[in-house]
Structure 1
Amino acid sequence: MAVSVKEVAAEAGVSVGTVSNVLNRPEVVSERTVAKVTAAIERLGFVRNDAARQLRAGHSRNFGLVVLDGRNPFFMDVTQGAQHRALENGYTVLMGSSDNSLTTEQQLLDLFDEQRVAGVLISPMHSDLSRLWKIREAGTPVVLVDRGSGDRSFSSVSVNDVEGGRIAVQHLVDLGRKKIAFVGGPQSIVQVQHRLEGAQSVIAGTAGTVLQHMPTRQLTVLEGRAAGERILAMDPAERPDGVFAANDLLALGILQALVMSGSLRVPQDIALVGYDNIDFAESAVVPITTVRQPAEEIGRTAVDVLLRESEAGADAVREQFVFTPKLVIRESTAGAGTAG
């Protein structure tokens, strides 16, 4: 059974109010009394209930974080960066995954609202941010993570995904690849839309190249493997010689399907580029060329922005941080040249 403040007071021979002052305002209590109460706390094993105290004050020391897919190592790295920065400032991060479900996203936001979190970090599913407006109007700051705000009405920390899509496909074009497939979906995810836009911009400006969009229901290894099977089943004359996957999990699935078939070689027959630079991409049987996003830095920066917005209150300036993605070349494209 938990030890109460009243029991600590009795053990130390002081009032409950004095124990409360030692816990919350030790500067108003004599050093001798602080020592007596501290000794009683240690003897009894008292643990203060900060959650109750903070809720009475109208807020907690927690930030709520909603990511698109908690199984994706990219979002785990974002969470790690956010958690480290939050702890440095006396906060913790409560992470929930929407699993690309708008219903789940709303449930998580409702729960965070009930917990009176000190702020919300979120990678939202869609462009409708009306629920986030209500949260902020109620006094809880909100920062978008891994996607921009569009109209700049919310602070955001993101990566230029249009540029990321552009450099991925430009790399394939520079290798002489003419028939390129973009594998990724659903397109309701803004990041997927932007990566596709970047890919399309390169093809539109390069004569003799075509881009085929192969949509997926999710951004998972299994969906990537299914896409790889579809590529294998294509007529050789129509089959792509370059593939840009919307994330590394898809790229891993595609690579698995191609390698297991034994009939197509990566990168000789099909050059492959992923996105995110997760550890699994580097350790794959054929290490995967990818577009790097600074995941942990995104998480850290998002917490910094949230803290500033919380301190500024109604006077907060909506900050927009946009990181530039970088191409990381590995064996899935390195030395591929023109497919033969």
Structure 2
Amino acid sequence: MFNSREIFVASIRDVAKAAGVSLGTVSNAINRPEVLAPLTLRKVQKVIEEMGFVPNASARNLRAGRNRVIGLVVPDISNPFFTALAMGVNDAAFAAKYVVILCNTDESTDKESQYLEVLSAQNVEGILITPARETIRALAKVVEKGIRLALVDRPALGLQACSVAVNDSYGGSLALTHLHELGHRKILLLTGSEDIPQVADRNTGIRESMKEISANQLPQIMELRLDSMSASNAYDAMMKKIESGVDFTGIICGNDLIALGAIRALREKNIAVPEDVSVIGYDDIDFAGSANVPLTSISQPAYELGFAAAELIISECENPERHVHQRIEFQPRLVVRSSTAPTKSHRANLRIS
């Protein structure tokens, strides 16, 4: 049997009765202690302590039109990049006493739209989103409803919103320059649809870099588009590509999962990485360095992206009148490991020179 006294939870009415004051006085002692006389304040605080009364923060937030909840919408939480990003968001939110609702769209614009509607109906204070595709109109509708919005891993072009992104154009340039300097002149671009803004930006960086290369050194770029930027999809696509002939010496991949899937297919077909084909990924996820062939990758700070974005949206929630939308851009960097190497002809030229 439970003893009723052991599970007694004091209410604000219990505190008021025990202290011999009104409900309003107890409320002031909690929320506006400066308006009470010192003796009255001490008396109420003593009763609160003795009774173990815990003020109902949820009720106070509701009365103030606040719930301290933000939504996070990502295209693929199974991708370690977005897992790290979500951890950054969660840590920043936890420090500010906010709760995060995580929504995974599976790269579906339909799911994305439904999640935006659900989060709006839940009256979240703000939404952080990495759009699955080019969905500016849908996001603009969210802003029009008065919901605070911040874009993560994507600049907020044309939107009244904060954004935290990576200079993906520069990232694409880094990848191409690295393979070109290793002597690669036939390069396969293995990535997703250009409907994905990050993919389009990286491809822009590749094209811009080619303008800086002399005509006699210009690489040939072949493109293979994937429906989904997953390791399994990359593996299947690469197996088919190998069957039709390996006419490339280097591969630039849309992310590290694609790179790992491609390497698996190459090795199963006895094509050595990097001796026969060099592979470069993108994201530099946690286990990129501990893969069977440690992966050269374009590193972008996923955790820091999430943390910074959460800080921006929380700042806007806390001080909406004084908030100024910000655009934060991180710079990617090249991390060289064992999956890229000079071509055989380039190695021979180096020996001769």
| TM-score, length basis structure 1 | 0.87
Any idea what SS the aligned residue of 2:163 has?
Answer: strand
Paired position in structure 1 for 2:239: 229
Per-residue deviation, residues 140-192 of structure 1 (Å, max 9, x unmatched) = 22111101123464321100111101111110111111111111113211111
**CA RMSD for the aligned pairs?**
2.6
Q: Does 1:166 find its partner at 2:156? A: no
Paired position in structure 1 for 2:259: 251
- Where does structure 2 lack aligned partners over 5 or more consecutive residues? 1-6, 346-353
Paired position in structure 2 for 1:5: 11
Q: Specify whether residues 339 and 214 from structure 1 end up closer, same or farther in structure 2 by C-alpha distance, changes over 3 A only.
A: farther
User: Residues 10 and 52 of structure 2 are in contact (CA less than 8 Å); yes or no, is this contact kept in structure 1?
Assistant: no
Q: Specify whether residues 81 and 204 from structure 1 end up closer, same or farther in structure 2 by C-alpha distance, changes over 3 A only.
A: same
Q: Specify whether residues 232 and 12 from structure 1 end up closer, same or farther in structure 2 by C-alpha distance, changes over 3 A only.
A: farther
User: Residues 203 and 210 of structure 1 are in contact (CA less than 8 Å); yes or no, is this contact kept in structure 2?
Assistant: no
User: Residues 167 and 330 of structure 2 are in contact (CA less than 8 Å); yes or no, is this contact kept in structure 1?
Assistant: yes
What one-letter code is carried by the residue in structure 2 that aligns with 1:127? E
Q: Specify whether residues 314 and 264 from structure 1 end up closer, same or farther in structure 2 by C-alpha distance, changes over 3 A only.
A: same
Per-residue deviation, residues 180-223 of structure 1 (Å, max 9, x unmatched) = 11111132111111112222333454444111111111111111
Q: Find the partner of 1:338 among 319, 338, 343.
A: 343
Any idea what SS the aligned residue of 2:52 has?
Answer: helix
Q: Find the partner of 2:46 among 35, 42, 47.
A: 35
Worse-superposed segment, 143-152 or 9-18? 9-18
- Where does structure 1 lack aligned partners over 5 or more consecutive residues? none
Worse-superposed segment, 299-308 or 198-207? 198-207
Worse-superposed segment, 160-169 or 190-199? 190-199
1:29-68 to 2 correspondence within 5 Å? 30-41=41-52, 49-68=56-75
Worse-superposed segment, 25-34 or 193-202? 25-34
Q: Specify whether residues 278 and 9 from structure 1 end up closer, same or farther in structure 2 by C-alpha distance, changes over 3 A only.
A: same
Q: Find the partner of 1:303 among 306, 310, 328.
A: 310
User: Residues 61 and 118 of structure 1 are in contact (CA less than 8 Å); yes or no, is this contact kept in structure 2?
Assistant: yes
d(CA) in 2 for partners of 1:79, 1:17: 41
What one-letter code is carried by the residue in structure 2 that aligns with 1:247? N
Deviation for aligned residue 1:6: 6.0
User: Residues 179 and 209 of structure 1 are in contact (CA less than 8 Å); yes or no, is this contact kept in structure 2?
Assistant: yes
Q: State the number of aligned residues.
A: 331
Q: Specify whether residues 72 and 13 from structure 1 end up closer, same or farther in structure 2 by C-alpha distance, changes over 3 A only.
A: same
Q: Does 1:83 find its partner at 2:111? A: no
The higher radius of gyration belongs to 2
d(CA) in 1 for partners of 2:8, 2:231: 46
Q: Specify whether residues 40 and 183 from structure 1 end up closer, same or farther in structure 2 by C-alpha distance, changes over 3 A only.
A: same
d(CA) in 2 for partners of 1:137, 1:59: 19
| TM-score, length basis structure 2 | 0.84
What one-letter code is carried by the residue in structure 1 that aligns with 2:343? T
User: Residues 249 and 277 of structure 2 are in contact (CA less than 8 Å); yes or no, is this contact kept in structure 1?
Assistant: yes
Any idea what SS the aligned residue of 2:274 has?
Answer: coil
Taking only the aligned residue pairs, the percentage that are identical comes to 35
Q: Find the partner of 2:188 among 172, 181, 187.
A: 181
User: Residues 152 and 320 of structure 1 are in contact (CA less than 8 Å); yes or no, is this contact kept in structure 2?
Assistant: no
What one-letter code is carried by the residue in structure 2 that aligns with 1:169? L
Any idea what SS the aligned residue of 1:318 has?
Answer: coil
Worse-superposed segment, 69-78 or 204-213? 204-213
Paired position in structure 2 for 1:103: 110
Q: Specify whether residues 315 and 33 from structure 1 end up closer, same or farther in structure 2 by C-alpha distance, changes over 3 A only.
A: closer
d(CA) in 1 for partners of 2:211, 2:220: 8
What one-letter code is carried by the residue in structure 2 that aligns with 1:225? Y
d(CA) in 1 for partners of 2:222, 2:10: 66
Paired position in structure 2 for 1:134: 141
Q: Specify whether residues 281 and 13 from structure 1 end up closer, same or farther in structure 2 by C-alpha distance, changes over 3 A only.
A: same
Q: Does 1:209 find its partner at 2:219? A: yes
